[in-house]
Amino acid sequence: MRIAYQGEPGAFSEAAARKVDGEAQLVPCRSFEEVFDSVDAGPALYGVVPIENSIGGSIHRNYDLLLTHELTIVGEVELPVVHHLLALPGATLEGLKRVYSHPQGLAQCERFLHTLKGVEVIATYDTAGSAKMVADSGQTDAAAIASARAGDVFGLKPLASGIQDFSDNITRFLVIGRRPLKNAVADKTTIVFTVPNEPGALFKALSVFALRGVDLTKLESRPIPGRPWEYLFYADLAAARDTLTCSRALSHLAEFAPMLRTLGSYPSWKPSAAPVLPDPFEVVS
């Protein structure tokens, strides 16, 4: 099995892909678009993309890509994210001039970054890619925010560990593909829909789930290209699509929603054990 993910080896997306199948051949991609294309046309059977973080919020680009591709959500993975400040051997906190990371990584470590005076913060395409940039540069006044594995892969040492703003920093990833995962039993459904531009339209749409006791666990809005101030609504439902209550709710919604599409019905993530995370801002000696 081949699973595509965005980033370099050592990226958090790589770790999420390994949770899907530890024996799979992993396919690193430069961008989220490339992940979708790799599953759409090959060589990957599945792709793993982040959709939201408990600190940084939603990854909007992947919501947009779910709509523009005919791929199905077949699973999800929740990954505890522990960020490290990584640099070449010989580097010190006091000597840093630049810190690189993905915008989400920077947002998740905002409080720690404010403690670094006179340091330029630079956004890049990937956390592990930032570690590679620092390693390739050979400069000891640069550092990257990335995973411990990225440090091992690129020969960097941690100047500080657990630097995320909150210890319960979790990223939720979606698994996309054309066929269900093996032995998958769905208990969650993701849909996207529009509503007429009239008073009470969204309330009416959400009421189809409330009236039937279907738990709506997330609601996300995205603008509709070419139609200013009109929106798509993405919703996560804590029910399989083919259960009686969920199927009736969706049939009811379809009666008045101009557009309704099911993006996937899949097993929700069920962690086997709660992770133990380090204290924030622990400086490594």
Q: What is the CATH number of domain 84-167?
A: 3.40.190.10
What residue ranges in 136-169 does DSSP mark as E strands? 142-146, 157-161
pLDDT computed for residue 43 by the predictor = 92
pLDDT computed for residue 282 by the predictor = 45
SS3 assignment, position 192: strand
**How far apart are alpha carbons 185 and 241 in whole angstroms?**
11
Q: What is the CATH number of domain 188-266?
A: 3.30.70.260
Hey, what are 125's tokens? Answer: 């395409």
Local confidence band at 200 (pLDDT 50, 70, 90 cut-offs): very high
Of 3.40.190.10, 3.40.50.1980, 1.10.1660.10, 3.40.50.11930, the CATH number of 2-80+169-177 is 3.40.190.10
Cβ-based neighbours of 183, under 8 Å, separated by 6 or more: none
**Amino acid identity, position 63:** Y
pLDDT computed for residue 273 by the predictor = 36
pLDDT computed for residue 272 by the predictor = 63
Local confidence band at 38 (pLDDT 50, 70, 90 cut-offs): very high
**How far apart are alpha carbons 176 and 193 in whole angstroms?**
19
**How far apart are alpha carbons 85 and 182 in whole angstroms?**
38
**Is 171 a residue of the active site?**
yes
Q: Exactly one of 12, 112, 173, 209 is catalytic; which is it? A: 173
Mean pLDDT score, 75-91: 96
**How far apart are alpha carbons 73 and 77 in whole angstroms?**
11
pLDDT at residue 193 greater than cutoff 80: yes
Q: Exposure of 264 by Cβ count < 10 A (0-12 exposed, 13-18 middle, 19+ buried)?
A: buried
The residues spanned by each domain of the chain are 2-80+169-177, 84-167, 188-266
Mean pLDDT score, 4-12: 94
Q: Exactly one of 127, 171, 189, 194 is catalytic; which is it? A: 171
Give per-residue pLDDT as tens, 86-141.
999 999 999 999 999 999 999 999 999 999 999 999 999 899 999 999 999 999 99
Mean pLDDT score, 153-168: 95
150: which DSSP letter? H
Q: Do 84-167 and 188-266 come out as alike in CATH topology? A: no
Local confidence band at 271 (pLDDT 50, 70, 90 cut-offs): confident
Taking residue 134's Cβ as centre, other Cβ atoms within 10 Å add up to 28
Nearest by Cα to 212 from 186, 250, 185? 250
**What percent of the chain shows pLDDT beyond 70?**
95
Mean pLDDT score, 178-197: 94
Top-confidence residue, 19 or 55 = 19
pLDDT at residue 145 greater than cutoff 80: yes
Hey, what are 69's tokens? Answer: 């591709």
CA angle 257, 259, 261 (to 5 degrees): 115
**How far apart are alpha carbons 136 and 151 in whole angstroms?**
13
